[in-house]
């Protein structure tokens, strides 16, 4: 391993509900190494131990020692205390009151920054990707949940303590399906990948999606984005209909967001969009175009994230580097 005597590498980490991804970046934020592992079913104690192992494996992949790290950007889902670096609650992860910033700094001896995962991904797309140079960017990343973020004139919107733009918890249906946050009828409970998979499992069980049944059965954990894409490609019309309906639900909520923030770019990212991007883009573009008032038509673009599911790690590393440079 190389040890240059100077701390010139940044670590971006995406703590997802089902997977964790660590990426090492050089001083110009070019990727140098990475490691991806599963997160699911791990509590905070075992989960943090795996997190540390994953970072060390990413460093080994880059040929970099811990002593060359300048800082760590940790992107996590859920409710966060950004100033103190505490993960307050992550419903889809099952973690509560985890002081991630303090634990990382104690383990690696470098400054750590905690950020919302979609904040980080949207920031990466604003700085380097599909929304570069935009005045107002709204990011929506459907996955196990549905996260939202906004970069306005170069700065991430946030609340007094934590991040904001929790688009997944906008109420859509009174007394609707139960959400991971404990409330009913949230957008996330109707249009996330988990919600889509649950509806698809029922369709497969009823014999309405034979190709999906062959590919993934009725096991909710097996009906992931790639399996959904394959079933649609093989001709499962009901699978496509369910996905399009979910995309329209997201688009309908975005109509309200457009009227509030007047973004010039809306970026869609995450694994679900990575596999089904054209379908999601088509439905959301159509829904927002029809739904907004005349004054807003033609003022915004709906685009796919340039960096896919790696946007979050890049954004987290960029936020850590920005914090260190003042």
Q: What are 288's two structure tokens?
A: 């927002």
Q: Percent of the chain, pLDDT > 70?
A: 97
Q: What are 291's two structure tokens?
A: 């739904």
Strands, sheet with 31-38, edge to edge from the N-terminal-most edge strand: 31-38, 19-25, 9-15, 69-76, 112-116
In this prediction, residue 270 carries a pLDDT of 82
Q: Count CB atoms within 10 A of the CB of residue 63.
A: 12
Phi (first) and psi of residue 67, to 5 degrees: -65, -15
Predicted TM-score (pTM) of this structure: 0.89
95-133 pLDDT per residue, tens: 889 999 999 999 999 999 999 999 999 999 999 999 998
Residue-level pLDDT, tens digit, the chain, 326 residues:
444 346 789 999 999 877 889 999 999 999 999 999 887 667 888 888 999 999 999 999 999 999 999 999 999 988 899 999 999 887 777 788 999 999 999 999 999 999 999 999 999 999 999 999 899 999 999 888 898 999 999 999 998 888 889 899 999 999 999 988 889 999 999 999 999 999 999 999 999 999 999 999 999 889 999 999 999 999 999 999 999 999 999 999 999 999 999 999 999 988 888 888 789 899 999 999 999 999 999 999 999 999 887 889 999 999 999 998 87
């Amino acid at each position: 391993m190389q040890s240059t005597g100077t701390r010139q590498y940044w670590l971006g980490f995406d703590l997802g509900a089902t997977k964790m991804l660590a990426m090492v970046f050089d001083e110009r934020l070019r990727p140098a190494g990475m490691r991806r592992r599963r997160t699911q079913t791990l509590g905070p104690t075992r989960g943090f131990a795996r997190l540390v192992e994953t970072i060390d494996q990413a460093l080994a992949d880059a040929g970099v020692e811990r002593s060359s790290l300048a800082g760590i950007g940790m992107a996590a889902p859920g409710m966060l205390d950004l100033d103190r670096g505490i993960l307050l609650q992550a419903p889809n992860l099952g973690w509560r009151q985890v002081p991630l910033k303090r634990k990382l700094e104690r383990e690696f001896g470098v400054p750590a920054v905690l950020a919302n995962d979609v904040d980080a991904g949207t920031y990466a797309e604003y700085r380097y990707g599909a929304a570069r140079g935009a005045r107002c960017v709204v990011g929506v990343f459907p996955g196990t949940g549905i996260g939202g973020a906004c970069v306005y004139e170069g700065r991430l919107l946030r609340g007094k303590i934590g991040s904001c733009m929790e688009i997944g918890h906008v109420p859509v249906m009174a007394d609707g399906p139960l959400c991971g946050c404990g409330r009913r009828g949230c957008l996330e409970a109707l249009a996330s990948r988990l919600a889509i998979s649950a509806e698809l499992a029922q369709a497969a069980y009823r014999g309405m999606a034979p190709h999906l049944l062959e590919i993934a059965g009725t096991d909710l954990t097996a009906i992931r984005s790639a399996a959904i894409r394959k079933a649609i490609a093989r001709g499962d019309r009901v699978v496509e209909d369910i996905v399009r309906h979910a995309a329209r639900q997201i688009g309908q909520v975005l109509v309200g967001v457009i009227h509030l923030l007047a973004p010039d770019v809306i970026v869609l990212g995450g694994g679900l969009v990575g596999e089904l991007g054209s379908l999601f883009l088509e439905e959301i573009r159509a829904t927002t175009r029809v739904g907004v008032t005349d004054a807003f038509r033609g003022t915004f673009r709906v685009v796919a994230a340039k960096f896919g599911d790696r946007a979050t790690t890049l954004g987290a590393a960029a936020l850590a580097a920005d914090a260190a440079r003042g």
